[in-house]
Structure 1
């Protein structure tokens, strides 16, 4: 079975690609030179593929990479390209609580993408996933680096919010089951084996990271302010606005309702010490290099340095 993966260099995409035969896998992303809303390029990439795993997505908007472009126009292009290439099945990675008319552009555009897949006429499975974690994620990674950076950790609006984290390897197993036709329902809710309060999940990560920060409860609106500030200032935000919305709601129940996958296909590993340790980042803490302004300074420095080299070169040529 030949599989194409959109968003193939992203978090879920690269873990899926690592499980597949490289000779039977097509990795598609901006890094491989294919724009998600280019149906011609996508159709060429999908040629000879039996299944497309549509994992391309963003959790914040930067420049022309908007939710509308990536989630909506991108999914339309994926469907058109899949039709042209004769793809038999599309597997879409969505979010557990993606839905219309909820005031969140992330949730609404993910839902719009789901609807495009449902109306495509192509056999499909939509995986509405809760929090997925593993090496290189935005959950364990950011919590770990945060507790390594600061002695105080704000449990912003976490009280009572429940989560069901999914190890990325378990989620890859669900994708493969869908690709092989072992999930009958066209839309399923994929949730981790263990449900726990979000605050407890954060405490477990901190404990495995060897830290005991002071946990301070803060109001829900504070996480929204934090999200906006870190989107402005950080290359990868400590928390994005879409993630702030997720945390504020909790991530343990699908909305709208969707069935879970069959018993033998569901994620089976709890949010344990071993699974958390496997996801811990190698880097120690947040630093100046995580700030967007640091990247600007670095670019200015490189241009100045290169300009100086050019000036010296032109001077040498003139002297000769």
Structure 2
């Protein structure tokens, strides 16, 4: 079966592409020269594909890459291109708590994208994932680099939030089942097998990274302020504003409520040392992570 993957060079899309047969997989991203809002180019790329895994998404806005353009206009283009190309099924990667009227551009535009898929008339599965981790993620990567760089680590809020981390291996297995038609047409919540407090998850990552920072509880508004500052200053922010919102709410149950997958398709791998270690990055945060340093180096090199 031939499958197209939007966002195919991103975190989830890349892992999915590695799982599928490369001769029957079409990877679509800006790096491959196809914009998510270019209907004609998408329709050409989708030709001969039975399914589209719609993995494209952003967790912060940068330049013309806004939530509305990527999530809403991008999904509208994917649906139209799929119709033109005769694609039989669309599988969308969404977020566990994507919903309307919640004062978050990320959450609201993901919800609008879900509604476009549901109204498309094409067979679909919408997978509302919780926090996905694995090599190249933002969860284990940023926590590990942070505890290696700073003696303090700020946890979110004064009450414990809960998370159910999803190993990327499990996420990919769910996606493979969905594009293959094994997931019934519906919207599903996809969460990890283990529920734990966010602070426990951070301490587990720090322990595997060989660090024991001093943990300080910070009010949500401080985390949001840190997110804004790091979005301004860093190439990949320590925490994005959308991520700060996610952490402030917790990532352990769907909003609005959605059923979980059939039992035989649910994630089943634990959030254990082996999987955390496999996702650990090298090193810590350095000046190379600052946008101004990258800009200066590009100017000096004439790029």
- Describe the superposition over 1:45-68 as per-residue Cα deviations: whole angstroms up to 9, x where unpaired: 000000000000000000000001
Structure 1 unpaired stretches of 5+:
307-320
CA contact (8 A) 1:4 1:27 kept: yes
Q: Residue in 2 aligned with 1:254?
A: 254
* 2:53 counterpart residue number: 53
- Contact 2:123 2:185 (C-alpha < 8 Å) held by counterparts: no
- Aligned residue for 1:175? 175
Paired residue for 1:299?
A: 298
Distance, in Å, in 1 between the alignment partners of 2:119 and 2:77 is: 14
Query: 2:74 is matched with which residue?
Result: 74
Q: Secondary structure at the match of 1:264?
A: helix
* Unaligned segments of structure 2, at least 5 residues: none
8 Å CA contact 2:88, 2:122 repeated in 1: yes
Partner of 1:84 in structure 2? 84
Q: Secondary structure at the match of 2:60?
A: coil
Cα deviations by residue, 1:92-132 (Å, 9 ceiling, x for unpaired): 00000000000000000000000000000000000000000
- How far residue 151 of structure 1 moved from its aligned partner, in angstroms, is 1.1
**1:302 CA displacement:** 1.3
Q: Report the aligned-residue RMSD.
A: 0.9
SS of the aligned residue for 2:72 comes to helix
Q: TM-score of the superposition, structure 1-length normalised?
A: 0.93
The structural deviation recorded for 1:159 is 3.3
Partner of 1:65: 65
Deviation at 1:156, TM superposition (A): 2.6
Structure 1: distance between partners of 2:171 and 2:158: 24
Distance in 1 (CA, whole Å) between partners of 2:271 and 2:159 is 18
Counterpart Cα distance in 1 of 2:104 and 2:121: 28
How many residue pairs get aligned? The number is: 303
Conserved in 1, the CA contact under 8 Å of 2:156 and 2:220? yes
Mapped to 1, the partners of 2:225 and 2:286 lie a distance apart of: 20
Q: Residue 124 of structure 2 contacts residue 185 of structure 2 at CA under 8 Å; is this kept in 1?
A: no
C-alpha contact (below 8 Å) 2:51/2:90 kept by paired residues: yes
1:285 pairs with 2:280: no
Q: TM-score, normalised by structure 2?
A: 0.99
1:65-102: CA deviation from partner (whole Å, max 9, x where unpaired) = 00010000000000000000000000000000000000
SS at match of 1:44: helix
Distance, in Å, in 1 between the alignment partners of 2:50 and 2:18 is 18
- Give me the whole-angstrom Cα distance separating, in 2, the residues matched to 1:263 and 1:30: 36
